[in-house]
Chain A
Amino acid sequence: MAAAAGAVTAAAAAAAATAAEPAAAVGPGEEAGAGSLCPGPLRLARLPLARVKALVKADPDVSLASQEAVYILARAAELFVETIAKDAYVYAQQGKRKTLQRKDLDNAIEAIDEFAFLEGTLD
């Protein structure tokens, strides 16, 4: 797998450890699962940088990416996940459901311009 082949940075190791034990706090700036206590921007990325790097490298036009670029992409992906989850949840609420379903996501993608790039990619 690409993740195994890629170099594992310290941040990636910390993020992986955090993913395995949600209750344990790892590293400076990271808090155990209680992300809501600390404002978003001050958290370090939870997505493993090695995996994000693998995605970046998958682009044949990209030669090199700085560590900072990979880190910012990871953070951006997190913000994206938060955003799309919230936007999809609106539809679940409309359907009086407390469980987010695939169709809520599809509705959000169709309705919101910024998600247009996702059309046709999730199947």
Chain B
Amino acid sequence: MAERPEDLNLPNAVITRIIKEALPDGVNISKEARSAISRAASVFVLYATSCANNFAMKGKRKTLNAGDVLSAMEEMEFQRFVAPLKESLEVYRREQKGKKEARKDKDKKADSEEQDKSREEENDDDDERMEEEEQNEEEEVSSGRWWS
């Protein structure tokens, strides 16, 4: 395999579409220019990754997070990207949350039949636990620990 990182290209069709949408109607782009921009985008990602990784390491983290990427943008003098990226992140998070809940509901539905059987037993356990907790709370309050 031994590919150079810069050779990992992003799909031409998508790159072309982004370029066309950024430029006025009727403007064309030569093949060489398109492929150079595609390559530049790959280099951008590599550079941004390296930069973001420095922030992660500074924070003693092994996992690159979105904040690190945003910090990298500022470091690379692409501050103007930060605001739109933050908005995109919000949209992305909402979407992920929606997907997660959809999956949870799906799982709930699938498991509900099995759970019905064991649900009675679970309820009994819960009731016992709740009673214990209430007793503990009363003790703490009376000893005045909350206000010490």
Contacts and interface: CB of A to CB of B under 8 A. Distances in A.
A101 B33 contact: yes
B92 A44 contact: yes
Interface string B86-130: 011101110110010000000000000000000000000000000
Interface string A73-95: 10111111111111011001000
B3 A86 contact: no
Interface string B1-27: 101011011110111011101110011
How big is chain A's contact interface, by range? 35 or more
Interface string A22-54: 100000110001011000111111111001101
Interface residues of B, number: 66
Contacts of A69: 52, 63-66, 68-69
Contact of B3 (A2, A44, A46, A100): A2
Contacts of B69: 69, 72-73, 76
Given A22-B17, A76-B73, A85-B22, A68 B45 contact: no
Interface string B46-60: 111110110001000
Contact of A122 (B10, B36, B68): B36
A80 B85 contact: no
A83 B40 CA distance: 12
Interface of A: 2-3, 10, 15-16, 19-20, 22, 28-29, 33, 35-36, 40-48, 51-52, 54-56, 58-59, 61-69, 71-73, 75-86, 88-89, 92, 98-102, 104-105, 109, 113-115, 117-118, 121-122
